Amino acid sequence: MTASPAFADRLLRWFDAHGRHDLPWQNPRTPYRVWVSEIMLQQTQVNTVKAYFERFMARFPTLEALAAAPLDAVLAQWAGLGYYARARHLHAAARVMVAQGIPDTLACWLALPGVGASTAAAIMAQAFDEPATILDGNVKRVMARHAGIDTPIEQAATIHRLYDCARAYTPAYRSADYTQAIMDLGATLCTRSQPQCSDCPVSADCVAWQEGRVDELPARRVRRSLPVRTTTFLALFDADERIWLTRRPSVGLWGGLWCLPECRVSADHGLPAAGESISPVCANATAAVPWAQFAHRFTHFELRASVRKTTKADSVGLADDGAWFEVNRLLAARDIGLPKPIQTLLAANFPPNESIH
């Protein structure tokens, strides 16, 4: 595919007048700040990331501060952003960079945990003003429409075509501005629904616009309804009105976060069914009663959870990876990572200084 120089020129003129120039990671646009923002922006929209980024920078203003912090502190600042492996990788990569230095090449960024090809390219363009090809969700949508690529966007062959198109359109000048401009175009005009094609600076030669196929592109496979998973959590309190939390495995749902212990219960008595306890806590709890329910949508499934409440006098028989926490302090301090639904559940049931019983 041959790039039209006019594409980049038109886009940059539009960006100068209408692009986003006041995003928090743009001022100043240092490698550390750009890197953190790009990791946060993976699978997450800009409007959501902005507040998280500012809080994160206030807590970890430098690479050294992030590397020196315990993982729990990092996960606590990340809680609610989802895809928690990003936070674990961010922390691990910070420690690598403190030891080895901040990378200044694409290959060295790609060697860090959690940094893929598009993220590394965005960092090189944004932080170092080096020409690099990005292919995030916004860019995929712009390329599919402008070039008229109509095969399902999830297919590997389509990704290759979209990348070739994005690479051909990427200019050798104003790399940081162009990278931001192409993302801004997808985020503000070439949106998934109700795109504003009449205001688009590159609509004159956009295949989807010329052929009246904007709503059809990018093409996607037929989506099936999300599968539903059900589970039960146990809210276990001690005599001092503290709640017992366990750390979830690093791999899987809410990896590495602190959470209510998860268990299965029998239909007859509300107690863990024999041999079915996921957490040892459940097997050592006294009679549990229904307490709350919540649902949470993930990318690939919906979780529907019930929460049962019980008490225990001591820690005997509880899991080694658990600990007691005072609820109000836990919610106020934000010094450990809690899944957002669990955080919301506790906040709704325990306003500040309210007794548990």
Domain ranges within the chain, ordered by starting residue:
5-216, 228-349
Query: Are residues 147 and 156 in contact, defined by beta-carbon separation less than 8 angstroms?
Result: no
- Both structure tokens of 331: 């919610």
Instruction: Classify 228-349 by CATH class.
Output: alpha beta
Side chain identity, residue 13: R
What's the pLDDT at 315?
A: 67
- Is residue 38 annotated as part of the catalytic site, yes or no? yes
Residue 266's alpha-carbon distances to 59, 234, 270, 272, in angstroms, are 44, 13, 6, 6
Q: Say what the pLDDT of residue 240 is.
A: 86
* Number of Cβ within a 10 Å radius of residue 355: 6
Report the C-alpha gap between 299 and 1 in whole angstroms.
33
| Inter-residue contact 48 to 81 (CB < 8 Å) | yes
Nearest to 236 by CA among 275, 269, 282: 282
Other CB atoms within a 10 A radius of the CB of residue 143 amount to 28
The list of the chain residues with pLDDT below 50 reads: 2-3, 265-278, 284-285, 354-357
Cβ pair 218, 154 in contact under 8 A: no
Type and span of the H or E element at 291: strand 289-297
Query: Helix, strand, or coil here: 304?
Result: strand
pLDDT of res. 333? 80
Question: Which one is catalytic: 38, 54, 154, 262?
Answer: 38
Give the architecture (CATH level 2) of 5-216. Answer: Orthogonal Bundle (1.10)
Please tell me the distance from the alpha carbon of residue 162 to that of residue 147, in angstroms, as a whole number. 9
Q: How far apart (Å, rounded) are the C-alpha atoms in residues 37 and 56?
A: 10
Note the pLDDT of residue 245: 94
Token pair recorded at residue 15: 């960006």
Spatial separation of the C-alpha atoms in residues 109 and 90, rounded to whole Å? 12
Whole-prediction pTM value?
0.79
**Residue 21's pLDDT is what?**
95
Strands 242-247 and 302-311: unpaired
Task: Tell me if 77 sits within 8 A of 55, measured CB to CB.
Answer: yes
- C-alpha closest to that of 190 among 159, 160, 232, 147: 147
Hey, do 5-216 and 228-349 end up sharing a CATH topology, with the first three levels equal? no
Q: Cα–Cα distances in Å, from 85 out to 60, 75, 295, 311?
A: 18, 10, 22, 32
